[in-house]
Amino acid sequence: MESLAIRQYPDSILRRKCSQIEKITPKEITVFELMLSTMYKFEGVGLAAPQIGITSSLLVVDIGDGAIKLANPVILKVRGSDRMEEGCLSIPSVTVDIERPYEIVAGGLNEEGRVVEIKAQGLLARVLQHEIDHLKGRLIVDYLNLLEKFKRRLHKRKQVERYANL
Measured between alpha carbons, how far apart are the two ends of the chain, in Å?
44
The CA-based dihedral angle spanning residues 79, 57, 41, 88, taken in that order and rounded to the nearest 10 degrees: -50
140's CB contacts (< 8 A; 6+ apart) are 86, 87, 88, 91, 94, 95, 96, 98, 130, 133
117 Rama class: left (phi>0) / alpha (psi -120 to 50) / beta: beta
What single-letter DSSP state applies at residue 90?
Answer: T
User: Which listed residue (28, 43, 131, 161) is catalytic?
Assistant: 131
Return the amino acid letter for 32. Answer: F
Active-site residue flag, 112: no
Query: Which H or E run contains 26?
Result: helix 26-41
Active site residues: 131
